[in-house]
């Protein structure tokens, strides 16, 4: 007769202790972990929302490529596929933030740093683009603010320059010499 794994054994990390990325999380991943700061949850949700909006825009472009009369089929198809590919970065970053993955902070910050000039250009263009520019800029500023908080950095295992290393590396920032004596 085998024992059913407990939530503690399912959430065990490499050393047998709790894994900080899954401890307290719902097994299906739907509920936020109790250890996840609200700022990370907000940044993950907004990043996912941005990715979904970009993917929807790309899907509409693709649909219009085949149902409309584009000036150039190859150009329209390339534009639609490019926009769909650009949706991957905020979607992946949002997913990584939701799961408290350390790597996700970089793509999330990069996406928002690119979103701010895009929103500025949309404002300068005016017209209907203003309706998209304001929410894009607002979400970018909120996500950047959330990700730059000390609580977010701690939850993701990111340390400030000169702070204690998060992964146990020496404080010099150099990898230890594993080659042995020369």
pLDDT per residue as tens, the chain (182 positions): 444 444 444 444 444 444 444 444 444 455 555 678 999 999 999 999 999 999 999 999 999 999 988 888 899 999 999 999 999 999 999 999 999 999 999 999 999 999 999 999 999 998 888 999 999 999 999 999 999 988 899 899 887 666 665 555 444 444 544 555 55
Give the model's pLDDT for residue 23. Answer: 43
Q: Are 49 and 115 in contact (CB under 8 A)?
A: no
Let me know: does 53 contact 110? Beta carbons within 8 Å: no
Which of these, 145, 136, 146, lies nearest to 40 by C-alpha position? 146
Looking at residue 52, its pLDDT comes to 96
Q: pTM here?
A: 0.69
Instruction: Look at residue 71 in the predicted model and tell me its pLDDT.
Output: 87
The closest alpha carbon to 64, from 49, 85, 79, belongs to: 79
- Measured distance CA(169)–CA(162) in Å, rounded: 12
What are the φ/ψ torsions at residue 6 (nearest 5 degrees)?
-85, 165
């Amino acid at each position: 007769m085998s024992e059913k794994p407990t939530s503690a054994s399912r959430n065990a990390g490499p050393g047998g202790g709790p894994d900080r990325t899954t401890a307290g999380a719902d097994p299906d991943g739907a509920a936020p972990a109790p250890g996840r700061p609200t700022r990370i949850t907000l940044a993950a949700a907004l990043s996912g929302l941005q990715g979904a909006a970009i993917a929807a825009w790309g899907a509409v472009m693709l649909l219009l490529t085949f149902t409309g009369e584009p000036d150039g089929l190859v150009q329209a198809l390339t534009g639609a596929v490019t926009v769909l590919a650009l949706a991957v970065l905020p979607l992946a970053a949002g997913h990584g933030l939701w799961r408290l993955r350390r790597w996700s902070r970089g793509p999330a910050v990069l996406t928002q740093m690119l979103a701010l000039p895009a929103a500025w250009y949309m404002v300068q263009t005016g017209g209907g683009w203003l309706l998209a520019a304001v929410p894009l800029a607002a979400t970018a500023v909120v996500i950047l603010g959330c990700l730059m908080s000390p609580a977010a950095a701690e939850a993701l295992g990111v340390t400030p320059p000169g702070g204690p290393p998060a992964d146990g590396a020496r404080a010099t920032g150099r990898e230890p010499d594993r080659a042995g004596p020369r």
